[in-house]
Amino acid sequence: MRAQPKGSHFINGAWVEDESGAIIESIHPANGEVIARLHEATPEIINKALEAAQRAQADWAARAPVERGRILRRAADLLRARNHDLSVLETLDTGKPLQETLVADAASGADALEYFGGFAATVTGQTIPLGRDMAYTLREPLGVCAGIGAWNYPIQIACWKAAPALAFGNAMVFKPSEITPLSALALAEILCEAGLPAGLFNVVQGRGAVGAALATDARVAKVSLTGSVPTGRKVYAAAATGIKAVTMELGGKSPLIVFEDADLDNAVGAAMLGNFYSSGQICSNGTRVFVQRSVKAEFLEKLKARAARIVLGDPLDESTQMGPLVSEEQMTRVLGYIAQGQGEGARLVCGGTRAGESGCFVQPTVFADVHDDMVIAREEIFGPVMTVLDFEDEEEVITRANATDYGLAAGVFTRDLARAHRVVGQLQAGTCWINSYNLTPVEMPFGGVKASGVGRENGHAALEHYTRVKTVYLGLGDVESPY
Ligand code: NDP
């Protein structure tokens, strides 16, 4: 097997195996090849990881922040130095083309480690004058954090959670998606090599039940999930029982609004990026593309011509632009939505079928004449399926863009910047792009509103979600007691 790791789990700075756990196979979705066989964490393994994390955390929190940061920045350098191998691993595990993984996965993970590595030593509290007395605040780590990841950006998700957690003095037990279990293990090994003390970043494999065990364990102070809304509801509820802090990065059905004065070539390019990159398996994708009626025909014509040129194929070939979906199950789901779109009367502009006989490939698909009440315009498909909807005016499109339970992201294309700001001011979304789409640099907070999530990852905002404030009142005179 081409990507077999040295063990299923990484705990307390070492590889760990327990063959009594159920088997997890990592499958390369371009050809069905089993690239690794691992075992699900048993309750003993989960316990071992949590014990190790708890043991290591107090000493880590007591270290100088600049020292913690230095280790993370060293890990960022190692990730960058090994970017090629890590990208191949991610491509094998997810099916995403190497052309993408070389620039978007371990590379963005390294950015997070570098950013939070630098941030660590800048964290300060407040002093609060109170007349004779005073108070001050301290930013303390939360303790042991559980990270639970989705399968679309495995190493990026692991880094987006581990980097702030570790920078601010926490320990983490991370469970990758069972579909993409490999790169989090590589990250654990690299963190160790960079000098991270044993026990601070542990990886345990498993399906939902392993995630649920972490989310309900009394030793876990915080749960950070990237996943779907249904899973988010369960994990949020489980965490609530233990009054734990949460970050929930969930799904979306984001609007991308193209006004008639937009640069249409840029708008088409952004709509394609926001629907076809990673075969459409991106939470913040602008899957509801609202195009002002006067430019609809031109927009669709340009889109169709460019979509026809997308190169589908072997994701390990660097000239390939679109790989397979992550699994057969996901491909079947996406093809089901495409059939449903056709059944509902949406007009297929291009794509609409599986590509090739083997592998989980689906053609880039565009539906036009889509109505708000169609299932393909309401539900998250998580595949290369764009829906194009027409609109007449600004007020109407804002109302329709907001008419969803989701609120992860939104985009606006227009040359009228006053309108752009006015519109994003009214959109119910955690992240908005103006004349751009789907760029998520680590400097920028990212997260959803409404059913798309709670909390923010990245940027200064992450500090709020991986630390808590302790207030200290300092009495500087006699105690005034009536007794
Ligand atoms: P899932 O919700 O199916 O799974 C997410 C993770 O949660 C997996 O590791 C899963 O394990 C685990 N899990 C499942 N059930 C439970 C449970 N009861 N308790 C604890 N953990 C559990 O999402 P997918 O992996 O299918 O990822 C796709 C989804 O993720 C999409 O909806 C997408 O929008 C969203 N996403 C959101 C992002 C954001 O930042 N907002 C970014 C990327 C994706 P297992 O997979 O092994 O079952």
| Set 90, 100, 114, 161: catalytic member | 161
Estimate the share of the chain in helix, then strand, then coil, as percent rounded to the nearest 5: 40, 20, 35
Cα–Cα distances (Å) from 120 to 68, 79, 194, 463, in that order, read 7, 19, 16, 9
Identify the three-state secondary structure at position 457: strand
The predicted pLDDT at position 326 comes to 98
Q: Is 283 a catalytic residue?
A: yes
Is pTM beyond 0.95? Reply is yes
Of 151, 212, 223, the residue nearest 181 (C-alpha): 151
Residue ranges of the chain with pLDDT lower than 50? none
| Set 159, 283, 350, 360: catalytic member | 283
Report the amino acid identity of residue 13.
G
Identify the three-state secondary structure at position 116: helix
Q: Is there a contact between 221 and 239 (Cβ–Cβ < 8 Å)? A: no
Of 54, 53, 77, the residue nearest 195 (C-alpha): 77
Cβ of 333 below 6 Å from ligand 1: no
Give the length of the chain. 483
Q: Is 350 a catalytic residue?
A: no
Of 64, 62, 67, 451, the residue nearest 253 (C-alpha): 451
Q: Ligand 1 center to residue 414 CA distance, Å?
A: 34
The predicted pLDDT at position 362 comes to 98
Cβ of 249 below 6 Å from ligand 1: yes
Tally of CB atoms within 10 A around 301: 13
Residue ID of nearest Cα to ligand 1 atom 9: 177
The predicted pLDDT at position 428 comes to 98
DSSP structure string for 284-331: T---EEEEEGGGHHHHHHHHHHHHHT--BS-TTSTT--B---S-HHHH
Q: Is 161 a catalytic residue?
A: yes
DSSP structure string for 4-35: --S-SEEETTEEE--TTSPEEEEEETTTTEEE
Alpha carbon 105 to its chain's center: 11
The predicted pLDDT at position 320 comes to 98
Cβ of 247 below 6 Å from ligand 1: no
| Set 249, 302, 360, 432: catalytic member | 249
Q: Is 457 a catalytic residue?
A: yes
